[in-house]
Structure 1
Amino acid sequence: MRTPLLVVGDALLDHDAFGRVARLAPDAPVPVLSDQHRVTRPGGAALAARLAAADGREVTLVTALGDDESSAQVRRLLTGSVRVVALPLAGRLPAKTRFIADGRPLLRLDDGDGRAAAATEAAAEAVARASAVLVSDYGRGTADALRDALAEAAARVPVVWDPHVRGGPPVRGVRLATPSAAEAHALAPSRGPGPGHPDGSLRAVVRHATELVRAWGVTTVAVTLGERGALLSHGDAPLFVPAPWQAAGDPCGAGDRFAASAAGLLADEALPDDAVQGAVLAAARYVSEGGVHALGDLDRPRETGPGPVEDAAATVARVRAAGGTVVAAGGCFDLLHAGHVALLQAARRTGDCLVVCLNSDASVRRRKGTGRPLVPAADRERVLRALACVDAVAVFDEDTPERLLAELRPDIWAKGGDYGRTELPEAALLESWGGQVILLPYLDGRSTTALARSAAGGAPTGPGPAGPAAVRVAQMKG
């Protein structure tokens, strides 16, 4: 059972208007967005609460809501997933609308200037009873109204504070503060080279994080760095936590995903370093899986293994849209060796991207027997992603990758030269969309079994005679 989480902060209402741009307006050189469809979702602290609830934990949101239509919409969007304790709202709930064409925002319209008017007894009691707290401060007064109660909570339970340049500093004793790089630059006692122009170097981020730990009196500061990951500081030697892969997609809400994940992990008694590593992974997965555009799918079971299939699908879609050739290769890659690397490098040279279809631990066990894999899927995937020739990795649980291949539909399926075409159960599937199988030479004398035997004290392994230099191509019909 996961520990319940209290989220305290400013709810917003977000709208996205999607469309296409094919012309400029006749009366001004501005793009015309046509064929629109609109999506409405919770924003700000309401999004953080919704994401925390999607992790399978009980979530209560303390936020300011009024009688306006935007407040009513937020209430409806959270019904059934998040319990709401409302503070009075002065004004209308802030709402923002993004106009998006071909996946790129064109314009944002902000409306509503409402702020939390006062604390309530029910809100203070919710903070006093909380087992863990996430403060999602968007500078609209909710955190300020409950500042004394939050200071008392920070002395007894984990509190994560996601700050805003328009909000107040975290209360002393906060377990983890999570500013972005721009927020850390703006809030640090010593700023970078000029206002509004943050120095994005890692050295500057380290300086700002260290200063904020001391200035705020918090245990840890984790500065989020977008697709690069996060930098964590306790006030001394920093820890850089890189993103496990470069996630392609809309980053809107990724900061909320990071903060909600970190708060949940700390609530479940993780150490700050482990919580930040888990939060970086969760944020990367969130962006790869569609970000806020997948908000309606939050109630579906989440994948627990690293490296989402959606990340591979996004890579394939991007390359295919540019007219490129998609190459896929598969295997267990247990104890990655020189033969594997040579095969993958050769496969990558046949096209414009390489997706590795990786057998899961259960799949390897069925194929190779008990005692295998020697290396778990999470580690095998991480090693593969570190290769320059690998663009994406997708893990599959079946004995063979037909289901995954049917989803990705690569133009080329590359296999080692010790296979014949008749041995490949995937061959007919590739043929159905006009793909082709390419057989590539292996480096002789390299194998995982031999490496394992050598490590256990058997005969050493080494290269055998060179394999054939030519690449054999089995051309598929279509």
Structure 2
Amino acid sequence: MTLVVVGDALLDIDLVGRAGRLMPDAPVPVLDELEERPRPGGAALAAALAAGDGEDVVLVAPVADDEAGARLAALVAESGVRLVPLPYDGTTAVKRRVRASGQSLLRLDEGGSGDVGAPPAQALEAIAGATAALVSDYGRGITSQPAVRAALDGLPARVPTVWDPHPRGARPVAGVRLATPNHDEAARLCPDPAAGAGEGTGLAAVSAQAAALVAAWRAQAVCITLGAGGALLSRGETSPSVVPAPRVAVSDTCGAGDRFASAALVALAAGAVTLEAVQQAVTSAAGFVAAGGAAAFGAAAPVEHGHDAVTRVRAAGGTVVATGGCFDLLHAGHVATLEAARSLGDCLVVCLNSDASVRRLKGASRPLVPQADRARVLAALECVDEVVIFDEDTPEQALRRVRPDVWAKGGDYAGADLPEAALLRDWGGQAVVLPYLEGRSTTSLVTTALSRA
């Protein structure tokens, strides 16, 4: 199965520093220790996220022949996506965000102007061979390129097609399974001035916008995303479906639309009906922003549970405890270990293996539960204060960020040195082993379920 993402690829760069003082001649922060964190953006981010879900992904996108374009192509390759570039006579669109303490202070945009040339045969073959497709339009001209448009016209009749539109882009081709504008985009795209002028985010106004767009685009369905309000799915009916979003702590929503669209694509490609795909997309987008949004792409980041427990506990001179694992199908053994770990200090941080990490450790059939759901279940436990998702095979990078006073693991390590013990000693922390509740494991649960099937 090959998922094809067609759209505008951007280079996103976060310049992250520490803000400890203000300029003497102006009330603006001075940033020290600046660190540059590049990542794929736009359609390239959507493709990378789908590849992170374990899918075979091809990205068809214009790529400029400049230094930024070379960096972007390298980042796309690192994410596991195969890039099929389209000729482009402009410069790479680069978005730089200056950030401190998890907040964006300024964004600097450059490049992005130019014309898309006729696609090579390889690009048209990739589109024709898609088993599911996402058009990620950032309004930079690819969806208006005649040969690309002609190739896209034939997709909805053959494969599930998701279209993430932009007010400056071309309208979706007829028949797309799902179009995914956010509320602001829907209001600007709406062909009916009365519907588009609906005030606020009232569901009646959003429903009217969605129905108008279904008719104008001849789409099978339009889903208007509403941020923390979830999403409204319409097929043109007067009583649309509303999918609430999980409650999460959000500091950065950058990339949420790309996560939503790519998750919907993955679900539809796997055979989900449209409403199921939207439900999965809402959950995935919520988990994505809770984990830090695009700023946390490829890095460990806190998911959420209440306030910043680590900072609060440290400020009060308390003890930070951490534990880790896959936590696939949470069971009584997990809960016993988590409760025991929490009793050792004043807050508990769970380092959670990402889906990709679990697959490498346990095989292609795992995890049974996706990372956003696993994180949400863990964060709902009273004994868990924060969740950190990490993509590596070991939690070393996550531990370096959290720097817990105590690292606790279940009793299957009894009598042996924990692999993380030496790392903990770097900052005076201590690794410990906790008693293990016998007879409880995810593997045994799966085996029992299969034997009773």
- TM (norm. structure 1) is 0.65
Shift of 1:317: 3.6
The change in CA–CA distance for 1:249 and 1:4 in structure 2 (over 3 A counts) is farther
- Cα distance in 1 for residues equivalent to 2:317 and 2:134: 44
- Cα distance in 1 for residues equivalent to 2:118 and 2:307: 45
Which deviations, in whole Å up to 9, do the C-alpha atoms of 1:51-83 show, x marking residues without a partner? 111111111111001211111111111125111
Aligned to 2:451: none
Task: Give 3-state SS (helix, strand or coil) of 1:89's partner.
Answer: coil
What is the letter of the counterpart of residue 33 of structure 1?
Answer: L
The change in CA–CA distance for 1:380 and 1:55 in structure 2 (over 3 A counts) is closer
Mean CA deviation greater in 248-257 or 9-18: 248-257
- Cα distance in 1 for residues equivalent to 2:154 and 2:298: 36
The change in CA–CA distance for 1:129 and 1:354 in structure 2 (over 3 A counts) is closer
Question: Is 1:132 matched with 2:136?
Answer: no
- Cα distance in 1 for residues equivalent to 2:62 and 2:302: 38
The change in CA–CA distance for 1:223 and 1:22 in structure 2 (over 3 A counts) is same
- Cα distance in 2 for residues equivalent to 1:33 and 1:138: 31
Question: Is 1:114 matched with 2:113?
Answer: yes
Shift of 1:333: 10
Task: Give 3-state SS (helix, strand or coil) of 2:212's partner.
Answer: helix
Structure 2: tracts of 5 or more residues without a match: 322-329, 333-345, 351-371, 389-401, 406-427, 430-453
Shift of 1:385: 8.4
Which deviations, in whole Å up to 9, do the C-alpha atoms of 1:96-150 show, x marking residues without a partner? 1001122111111000033442231422222112111100000011122111211
What is the letter of the counterpart of residue 243 of structure 2?
Answer: V
Aligned to 1:144: 144
Task: Give 3-state SS (helix, strand or coil) of 2:275's partner.
Answer: helix
Aligned to 1:93: 92
Contact 2:103–2:251 (8 Å) recurs in 1: no
Aligned to 1:62: 60
- Cα distance in 1 for residues equivalent to 2:50 and 2:59: 10
Contact 1:63–1:84 (8 Å) recurs in 2: yes
Aligned to 1:209: 210
Shift of 1:7: 0.3
Task: Give 3-state SS (helix, strand or coil) of 2:155's partner.
Answer: helix
Aligned to 1:462: none
Aligned to 1:243: 245
Aligned to 2:48: 50
Contact 1:266–1:275 (8 Å) recurs in 2: yes
Mean CA deviation greater in 33-42 or 67-76: 33-42
Aligned to 1:159: 161
- Cα distance in 1 for residues equivalent to 2:348 and 2:199: 36
Task: Give 3-state SS (helix, strand or coil) of 2:166's partner.
Answer: coil
Task: Give 3-state SS (helix, strand or coil) of 2:296's partner.
Answer: helix
Contact 2:16–2:98 (8 Å) recurs in 1: yes
What is the letter of the counterpart of residue 292 of structure 2?
Answer: G
The change in CA–CA distance for 1:317 and 1:116 in structure 2 (over 3 A counts) is farther
Aligned to 1:254: 256
What is the letter of the counterpart of residue 54 of structure 2?
Answer: G
Shift of 1:238: 1.4
Aligned to 1:342: none
Which deviations, in whole Å up to 9, do the C-alpha atoms of 1:182-210 show, x marking residues without a partner? 11111112357998x96222332222112
User: For residues 170-189 of structure 1, what are the structure 2 equivalents within 5 Å?
Assistant: 170-189=172-191
- Cα distance in 1 for residues equivalent to 2:31 and 2:265: 39
Q: Identity, % of aligned pairs? A: 49
- Cα distance in 2 for residues equivalent to 1:180 and 1:42: 21
What is the letter of the counterpart of residue 64 of structure 2?
Answer: G
Aligned to 2:170: 168
Structure 1: tracts of 5 or more residues without a match: 299-307, 335-351, 357-377, 396-406, 411-431, 434-478
- Cα distance in 2 for residues equivalent to 1:326 and 1:30: 34
Task: Give 3-state SS (helix, strand or coil) of 1:172's partner.
Answer: coil
Aligned to 2:335: none
Which deviations, in whole Å up to 9, do the C-alpha atoms of 1:382-437 show, x marking residues without a partner? 899899x9997979xxxxxxxxxxx8989xxxxxxxxxxxxxxxxxxxxx99xxxx
What is the letter of the counterpart of residue 119 of structure 1?
Answer: A
The change in CA–CA distance for 1:118 and 1:380 in structure 2 (over 3 A counts) is closer
Contact 2:45–2:258 (8 Å) recurs in 1: yes
Q: 2:17 aligns with which of 13, 16, 19?
A: 19
Shift of 1:36: 1.1
User: For residues 309-348 of structure 1, what are the structure 2 equivalents within 5 Å?
Assistant: 310-312=303-305, 315-317=308-310, 320=313
Contact 1:181–1:224 (8 Å) recurs in 2: yes
Task: Give 3-state SS (helix, strand or coil) of 2:298's partner.
Answer: helix
Contact 1:333–1:380 (8 Å) recurs in 2: no
- Cα distance in 1 for residues equivalent to 2:318 and 2:244: 29
Q: Give the number of the structure whose alpha-carbon radius of gyration is greater.
A: 1
Shift of 1:28: 4.2
User: For residues 63-462 of structure 1, what are the structure 2 equivalents within 5 Å?
Assistant: 63-80=61-78, 81-122=80-121, 123-145=123-145, 146-191=148-193, 199-236=200-237, 237-297=239-299, 310-312=303-305, 315-317=308-310, 320=313
Aligned to 2:423: none
Shift of 1:281: 1.2
The change in CA–CA distance for 1:206 and 1:241 in structure 2 (over 3 A counts) is same
